[in-house]
Chain A
Amino acid sequence: MIVRTPLPKKRRPEATGNSDSPNSDGRFVIFEDLPEPEPSHQHSDQMLCTYQCRQLVKADFLDALSSAEKKSQDYQSKVEAMDSDLRKSEAERVKFRDQLLYAEQEVAAAKGREQALQDQLLKEVSESQERLRKQIHIHSELEVKFRKEMELRKNAESLLSSAEEKASLLEGKLSHVSESIEREKVRLQKELTQLKQESKLSMERISADLQRMECKASNSEKEAALLKDQLENLQTKLNECLHEKNEVEKKLSTLTHQEFPSDDNILVKHLREELRNYESEVREARKWKASHEDIELLREKLLEEKGRRERAESEVLKLSEVQINGKKLEDELSSWKSIIKEIPGVTSAADIPLKFEALQKEVLEGMMKMGEVTARLKQVEVALDVAENTRQNVETEFALTNERMELLKLELKRTELLLSSTTEERDRLKIVVDQLKQQKTVEAGGAMTDGTVKELEASLAMKEDLIKQLESSIQEQKDVNTRQHNEIKLLNERLSNESRRIKSLEREDDRLRSEIAILESKLGHGDFSSASTKVLRMVNSLAVDSEAKQTIEALQNELQKTKDKLQAIEELKKQSGDAGTLVDSYISGKVVQLKEQIATLEKREERYKAVFADRISVFRRACCELFGYKIVMDDHQRSDGIPVTRFTLQSIYAQSDDEKLQFEYESGNTKILGNTYTQQPDISHQVEIFIRKLNSIPAFTANLTVESFNKRTLS
């Protein structure tokens, strides 16, 4: 309101900083009615003053108006600037809002991804937990299987130990049985040897008997011959005596007819006495002969009886030994039978090897089963190891996943913190935007927006940095996750391959070990299996029982024959003692025939020899005269035992006895032997030429003959 009476004009402050003046800051001040001025000379002055005042006021008013207008323009410009700033800020707000929304979306996406990652991690964790549970379950199953297998193994081992004990017991029993069988065999062999010795002794005895029989036969033959001779002598004597007797009787008869003197009677008496003496002597001789024969028969009988006694004594000794052996055999048989009874499934000796084979088969089967069980155990152990390794791997994976989970949780927390910070920033921005709105409506001043803008910018930059960091961390996590996944896959594949390889190798190892065991057993036993192989043994050539039996039988047959012959001879002797003329004549006739044959043959041989000697001497002389060499033939034997004919040639024109050629003839081949004569230079030269080079002995001998003839004639 314009004052009617303006107050005295105050000077406008030049400096705007004069804050004491009320107009300094452009505000209109309502002047209050000032105290009234003094009434003296004020009316004119007042009139002037009012015009001036009005003018001043007008000027002031105009100035104020202009300033106000300027101010308003300034304010308008400021408002416009503020408006533009506001628009900018609004645009920026919108932008920030969009960015915020984008950031929120990103955060939501990150949240979603985190959620997905969390879910994935949870899934992986659950899967790993499930795997772990499965592995634990498998592990527990394997442990159960392992315990069962261990129990089975223990049972198998106990069975094996019991089987081994049984086998050892059976082996012990079998060894006992085999020992007993061997002892029996030894004894049987001893008996066999004894029997052989006995047979040998019997053979020797038989041979001795044979020899004795032969000697007896020869002796008896000799005796028979002697007796025959004696008989013949006696017969001749008898005949002579008979003849003399007949003559004497005739004489006696003639004498008796002629009445001979007493001397003849005495002679006749003497002759009769001599005849009687001779007859008595013949009777005594016959008696001596018979007694001699009896003595010899008795001697032979004595010898036979002695032999029989010795045989009986030896057989008695043998009987006692055989009885002892029999008792021992019976004891052993009883023990063997008791052992057989103890062995289950065995009723006789033939069952023992079958039982032994069955036990061996059982032992082999048990060993095979043991091998299989050990193979299975090893497989289970391998599987256990693999399971443990997988469990350890899974545990490590689980720990790693847990660590990742924790890391992700930390990152989640970080992102949540970031989210919270971004939300706070958003709220602050909202508040700032509201404030800006309020400021826009009030239009009080625009200086506040600079700070908020700067704050917004700073917060935006922070948010951008945070967002970038988040994105980079998410990307890194993604990369890490993918890398870990790939590594885990590769490791799993490798694990599976290695486990397969280990299993195959272990199977091959077991197979090779079984093959080695089989080959070792085959090596020691020589590819023997009782089911498919038969073992043949050559009958012992040293124990020739059959041949001994055959020889014994042959000797016994010969003995029987000789006994028959001896009996025949004895019968003949007996027969010959009474009337031996038939046998004597037969034997004598045969002897005479043989002697005549021998004589004729000898004569023939002598004739042949004489004829041969004549003819060969003629031949030798002819050869000597025709070829000029005296040939002497000798039979020699070389050091190696081969018989060889040696010819010694001496030329008829030789000047000394040393000039002799020696040739050796063997199976159609003739070769010259070296001596002093052939070693002479000219002879050796001829030998070299004719025999060595030309291979002609006749040419050599002819040449030598000519040369020696020339030398002889010339000399």
Chain B
Amino acid sequence: MAGSWEVTKNSSCDYEQGPTNEVLERWNFSIETDKELDKKVSRENSDNEIMREIQAVMRQIASSITYLPCLDEPCIFDVLAYTDMDVAIPFTWTESDPKLIANPQMVKLHSFDTKIGKVDTLVSYKNDEWDEQ
């Protein structure tokens, strides 16, 4: 993936329910690379600030368990990467559909900004039956 890092727009990983292959959670990490930030004002953050931002994101991810639905059945991870159409597919990757959730609940988390790029985090999850009632 090192060669296609520049063209990767964002990557996301999600859970899938084992027996029915239903997508329950979807974590979206949107990465803006240097090329896209060329036209904008250059962002220079110190390492401490970057670390703080990353810690805030990690804390938010950890605390998101309070509102995310419970996963009672065994689930598996799938890692997806959004790329351009002309990117060659590596050996350990295969083409797939975007694994979207219908009518999801979305929660936008903090973003952190390094000297190279900016990462936005978002989690979308399927509405729990109890919550819909």
Contact = CB atoms under 8 A, between A and B. Distances in A.
Most buried by B among A524, A527, A535: A535
Interface in B13-30: 19-22, 28, 30
B100 A536 contact: no
A527 B30 contact: yes
B17 to A, nearest CB: 10
Interface string A501-540: 0000000000000000000000111111000111111111
A525 B30 contact: no
Contacts, number: 83
Contacts of B30: 526-527
Interface string B79-106: 1111111010110111111111000101
B106 to A, nearest CB: 6
A305 B64 CA distance: 58
A186 B94 contact: no
Most buried by B among A353, A532, A536: A536
Given A182-B20, A525-B100, A526-B12, A538 B78 contact: yes
A45 B96 CA distance: 177
B93 A537 contact: yes
Contacts of A269: none
A335 B11 CA distance: 36
B81 A524 contact: no
A352 to B, nearest CB: 11
B81 to A, nearest CB: 5
B122 interface: yes
Contact of B10 (A524, A527, A538): A527
A353 B97 contact: yes
B9 interface: yes
Interface residues of B, number: 35
Size bracket, chain A contacts? 20 to 34
A534 B12 contact: no
A537 B95 contact: yes
Given A524-B106, A526-B10, A536 B96 contact: yes
Given A182-B20, A523-B122, A536-B94, A528 B82 contact: yes
Contacts of B81: 535-538
B124 interface: yes
A369 interface: no
Nearest to A537: B96
B99 to A, nearest CB: 8
B37 interface: no
A185 interface: yes
A540 B95 CA distance: 13
B58 interface: no
A537 B79 CA distance: 6
Contact of A538 (B28, B92, B99, B106): B92
A534 B80 contact: no
B116 interface: no
B76 interface: yes
A333 to B, nearest CB: 18
Contacts of B84: 532-534
A266 interface: no
A185 B21 contact: yes
B86 to A, nearest CB: 9
Contacts of A714: none
A535 B100 contact: no
Contacts of A532: 84-85
B83 A534 contact: yes
B76 A538 contact: no
Given A182-B20, A526-B30, A527-B30, A537 B82 contact: no
Interface string B89-133: 110111111111000101010000000000000101000000000
Interface in A178-205: 182, 185-186
B55 to A, nearest CB: 24
Given A186-B19, A532-B84, A540-B78, A524 B100 contact: yes
What's the dominant secondary structure at chain A's contact region? mixed
A534 B83 CA distance: 5
A536 B89 contact: yes
B85 A535 contact: no
A542 interface: yes
A535 B82 contact: yes
Contacts of B99: 535
Contacts of A542: 76
A107 to B, nearest CB: 80
Contact of A533 (B19, B83, B106, B122): B83
Contact of A526 (B22, B93, B98): B98
Contacts of A540: 76, 78
Given A526-B28, A527-B30, A535 B9 contact: no
Interface string A148-188: 00000000000000000000000000000000001001100
B113 to A, nearest CB: 18
A537 B19 contact: no
Most buried by A among B9, B22, B82, B83: B82
B92 A524 contact: no
A536 B95 contact: yes
Contacts of B122: 523, 526
A525 B9 CA distance: 13
A527 B20 CA distance: 26
B98 A528 contact: yes
A525 B98 contact: yes
A182 B81 CA distance: 22
A539 B9 CA distance: 20
B10 A537 contact: no
A683 B57 CA distance: 57
Nearest to A533: B82
Most buried by B among A526, A527, A535, A538: A526
B68 to A, nearest CB: 17
A536 B80 contact: yes
B9 A533 contact: yes
A175 to B, nearest CB: 9
Contacts of B100: 524-525, 528
Contacts of A539: 92-94
A536 B83 CA distance: 7
A358 B60 CA distance: 38
Most buried by A among B28, B84, B104: B28
B28 to A, nearest CB: 5
A501 B93 CA distance: 54
Contacts of A186: 19-21
Contacts of A182: 20-22
Contacts of B9: 527, 533
Contacts of B79: 537-538
A527 B93 contact: no
Nearest to A531: B85
What are the nearest 4 A-B pairs in CB distance? A537-B96, A538-B79, A536-B93, A536-B81
Interface of A: 182, 185-186, 353, 523-528, 532-540, 542
24 contacts: A182-B20, A182-B22, A185-B21, A186-B20, A353-B97, A523-B106, A524-B106, A526-B12, A526-B28, A527-B10, A527-B82, A528-B82, A533-B84, A533-B85, A534-B83, A534-B84, A534-B85, A534-B87, A535-B80, A535-B81, A535-B82, A536-B81, A537-B78, A537-B95
Interface of B: 9-10, 12, 19-22, 28, 30, 76, 78-85, 87, 89-90, 92-100, 104, 106, 108, 122, 124
Given A533-B84, A540-B76, 7 more contacts: A186-B19, A523-B108, A524-B106, A533-B83, A534-B82, A538-B81, A539-B92
